[in-house]
Amino acid sequence: MAAAWIPVLWLGVGLLLLPEPAGCEGAVPIAITCFTRGLDIRKEKADVLCPGGCPLEEFSVFGNIVYASVSSICGAAVHRGVISNSGGPVRIYSLPGRENYSSVVANGIQSQTLSRWSASFTVTKGKSGAQEATGQAVSTAHPPAGKRLKKTPNKKAGNKDCKADIAFLIDGSFNIGQRRFNLQKNFVGKVALMLGIGTEGPHVGLVQASEHPKIEFYLNNFTSAKDVLFAIKEVGFRGGNSNTGKALKHTAQKFFTADTGVRKGIPKVVVVFIDGWPSDDIEEAGIVAREFGVNVFIVSVAKPIPEELGMVQDVAFVDKAVCRNNGFFSYHMPNWFGTTKYVKPLVQKLCTHEQMMCSKTCYNSVNIAFLIDGSSSVGDSNFRLMLEFVSNIAKTFEISDIGAKIAAVQFTYDQRTEFSFTDYSTKENVLAVIRNIRYMSGGTATGDAISFTVRNVFGPMRDSPNKNFLVIVTDGQSYDDVRGPAAAAHDAAK
């Protein structure tokens, strides 16, 4: 796992000081960025300092006077006229959630409507002495002589602690209908907003499942929450059967490509929304998704009642489609009404990088064959040490039908396949077989052994999506040529 890191924001020169508790006289304002949201400040009242030069067109603001907590604090302050775009001190007050945030054009910013959100805030002018209280640590108006402040980036970085490439696979079938389809879009929009979409944060796209799947937009089409929200609102209802399995398979195979914005080393995620149950088989699609390294979440709404169970093709469809049947990847909501409380828990799941067990990594997407020297020069005791060494390597991998696969060949002048890639699909079985390999004894023909393994062990795996590795464990010089077979093995892997 990558080491944890803490981002440090520098504004001007000097160190940023921790603020005193909100409401204290002389409290040092919190230096924030252009895109810090209300929900990022977890205090009932706080003094903040907005930087100058924020790009007005990049602000996401929802409401007027009272703003949804997903709004930019500085954007709301400029919108209300509390500060200009030159920045300055702002006091923010947390408020309860509400309905019907209105859209108003003010001070160069077009705020947006939002039907409902779980928390709100309002802003007033900060104390005039707030900037002086912080000293030059947060000064943005006058940089020190001979020094130039860095300009605020034109692109929103997003939530750097939530890096994921996410496809929302929404239900567009007759099962859900037009009205609930719109409620579904509202929920997806709320999730997208809370994720903190940005160039260095999560990227999202959207696919609609119905009779035939339709990719509405890809990961690289929009990189701001505002644009994503507008794109979601424009998606039209298609109708037809709920062929969710067909849509999931299509998404796993076609959506996540370099051309459409997928990023290396970032978890690939599909969030599947199902109203009722799918019309087709979803188990095979789940297997395909896992083979492509996609983490599948299922959000099920309105489970079938007992009278409807006869129409459900597979009542265990959720367990068979998700990345892992451990409860983490399945999520249920009773209906599409009052769903705001379900937004944050889902976002927290999507941002939990270490739980993305189906992401393709070195540990779960390789075929490793061990070519073990069983010649007389090794000896029985050293051969046991070699097996222990092989076991210690093998046990670090996630061995399964859709994960890493292990094989072993012992060689002298002859070769013996101890077990192939498809013989054992659990770590326990693989380790047990390695421990019980019998010592052959004989001469050393490493070149022939390499050719044998490439042909007979890797040959049947030529269509596998996993990368192939051959690990040779030997104690000395071979009696035959090794360079030719080794070069041929490299060529076969290309």
DSSP symbols for 348-362: HHHT-GGG-TTS--T
Look up residue 62 and give its two tokens: 């929802």
Cα separation of 126 and 48, whole Å?
8
Determine, yes or no, domain membership for 1: no
Residue 260: how many other CB atoms lie within 10 Å:
17
In the predicted structure, residue 29 carries a pLDDT above the cut 90: no
430 Cα distance to chain centroid: 31
Determine, yes or no, domain membership for 244: yes
Weakest-pLDDT range from 36-40, 149-153, 347-351: 149-153
pLDDT band at 27 (very low <50, low <70, confident <90, very high): low
- Contact, 109 vs 79, CB < 8 A? yes
Q: Of 117, 137, 157, which residue sits at a domain end? A: 137
Are 255 and 307 in the same domain? yes
210 or 150, greater pLDDT: 210
In the predicted structure, residue 1 carries a pLDDT above the cut 60: no
Q: What is this structure's pTM?
A: 0.54
Ranked by mean pLDDT, the top range of 114-123, 225-234, 408-417 is 408-417
Residue 82 sits in a domain whose CATH number is 2.170.130.20
Determine, yes or no, domain membership for 160: no
Q: Of 84, 118, 137, which residue sits at a domain end? A: 137
Weakest-pLDDT range from 22-36, 136-150, 366-380: 136-150
Determine, yes or no, domain membership for 72: yes
Q: For CA atoms 94, 96, 97, 98, give the dihedral sign.
A: negative
Please give the pLDDT value at position 465.
Answer: 76
199 or 372, greater pLDDT: 372
- Contact, 88 vs 140, CB < 8 A? no
Determine, yes or no, domain membership for 16: no
19 or 474, greater pLDDT: 474
pLDDT, mean of residues 412-426: 95
Are 221 and 316 in the same domain? yes
Residue 221 sits in a domain whose CATH number is 3.40.50.410
- Parallel, antiparallel, or unpaired: how do β-strands 330-333 and 294-301 relate? parallel
Weakest-pLDDT range from 302-316, 344-358, 462-476: 302-316
The proportion of the chain whose per-residue pLDDT surpasses 90, expressed as a percent, equals 51
Q: Of 355, 386, 408, which residue sits at a domain end? A: 355
- Contact, 174 vs 211, CB < 8 A? no
Query: Which residues, 6+ apart, have CB-to-CB distance to 369 below 8 Å?
Result: 406, 407, 408, 409, 421, 453, 457, 458, 468, 469, 470, 471
Are 169 and 309 in the same domain? yes
Are 88 and 202 in the same domain? no
Please give the pLDDT value at position 312.
Answer: 61
In the predicted structure, residue 416 carries a pLDDT above the cut 80: yes
Domain count, the chain: 3
- Tokens 């599948």, located at residue: 296
Please give the pLDDT value at position 26.
Answer: 47
10 or 175, greater pLDDT: 175
Are 191 and 317 in the same domain? yes
- Contact, 206 vs 188, CB < 8 A? yes
Counting Cα atoms < 13 Å in the Cβ hemisphere of 51 gives 21
State the burial class of residue 354 (Cβ atoms within 10 Å of its Cβ: 0-12, 13-18, 19+): exposed
Are 171 and 296 in the same domain? yes
Cα separation of 73 and 47, whole Å?
11
Ranked by mean pLDDT, the top range of 176-180, 371-375, 460-464 is 371-375
Nearest alpha carbon to residue 209 among 180, 179, 254, 250 = 250
- Contact, 93 vs 125, CB < 8 A? no
pLDDT, mean of residues 408-417: 97
Are 101 and 197 in the same domain? no
Determine, yes or no, domain membership for 431: yes
Q: What is the DSSP letter of 308?
A: G
Across the chain, mean pLDDT equals: 84
Residues of the domain holding 399: 366-492
The model's pLDDT over 229-285, given as tens digits with 9 standing for 90+, comes to 989 988 999 998 889 999 999 999 999 988 899 988 789 999 999 987 788 888 999
The model's pLDDT over 85-102, given as tens digits with 9 standing for 90+, comes to 999 999 999 998 888 888
Are 416 and 453 in the same domain? yes
Please give the pLDDT value at position 13.
Answer: 28
Determine, yes or no, domain membership for 6: no
Are 188 and 133 in the same domain? no
336 or 117, greater pLDDT: 336
Determine, yes or no, domain membership for 159: no
Cα separation of 330 and 312, whole Å?
18
Are 175 and 295 in the same domain? yes
Are 121 and 180 in the same domain? no
Are 62 and 126 in the same domain? yes
Helix (H, G, I), strand (E, B) or coil at 215: strand
